[in-house]
Amino acid sequence: MPEADFLSSILSRIPGKKDTVVFIFTGNGGAGKSEASLNFAVLLKNNLPVTFLDLDPVKPCFRSREAKKEIEGQGVKLVMTPVSSLDLPAVSPENAGLLKSRGKNPLVVDLAGEESGIRILGGYRDFLSDAVIFWVINFSRPFSSEDELLAWRHRAESASGLKFDGIVNNTHLMQNTTPDLITGSAERARRLADRAGLPLLFHGVSEKLLMNNKISLPEPVLPLKIYLCPPWEKTADRKS
């Protein structure tokens, strides 16, 4: 699906947000929101200059700074927390200030789903009434049953004072993901969406899996290039 059609198909399902330029990705631990948000930013860059703001200061392995050279090589401006080699729960006022003073071009935000990240979002809620907040889920992670996810959503919305706009199904088992896992998780995501009263906006699926398998889903699909990987996979790649 062309990037303009992909975006319009999503925004058409969110009342009052068709002209938004701020897209926030959040979810509980291990949902894969960093990978989904990076790919979303690259997709939008095909039409407009895009800024990617990394407000996830708590993950030691999967951080967008690791993809900085590759992402910026594709024309996305990457703005990160100020520590380049350590992962500390700190966000500079300059970086967070982008949420207040964004321009007319898209701003994609990778937000920590832990309490520290949600509170960052809440501190800027007065400036985010027009932002789209994507709730990224991965049923393959611990604490990701429907009931547990709904409880996490309630805590997150209560802490931030903001409401999520829709669900992004990003269920995967990394290199062990199968087409059956994707189609099965899509059914579960639809049930969750019904219970939550939110639209299921799109699915994130590995581009390699899509190339090698026929996966048909009624909702839009965002092909995911893997920009981030854990250190043990990098070591394995070097040995192979």
Residue 61: pLDDT band with limits 50, 70, 90? very low
Q: How far apart are alpha carbons 205 and 185 in whole angstroms?
A: 11
Share of the chain above pLDDT 90, in %: 51
Q: What is the number of structural domains in the chain?
A: 1
Regarding pTM above 0.75, the answer is yes
* Greater model confidence, 101 or 146: 146
Largest CA distance in the chain: 51
Q: 86-90, 135-139, 199-203, 220-224: lowest mean pLDDT where?
A: 86-90
Q: Which CATH number goes with the domain that contains 154? A: 3.40.50.300
Q: Is the dihedral of CA 132, 200, 179, 184 positive or negative?
A: positive
pLDDT value at 21 more than 80: yes
pLDDT in tens, 190-233: 999 999 999 999 999 999 999 999 899 999 999 999 888 655 45
Query: Mean per-residue pLDDT for 48-69?
Result: 71
The answer to whether residues 219 and 202 touch, using CB atoms and an 8 Å cutoff, is yes
Q: How far apart are alpha carbons 54 and 37 in whole angstroms?
A: 10
Token pair recorded at residue 16:
């009052």
Enclosing domain of residue 22: 3-239
Token pair recorded at residue 106:
């898209």
Which residue in 157, 88, 149, 150 sits closest to 122, CA to CA? 157
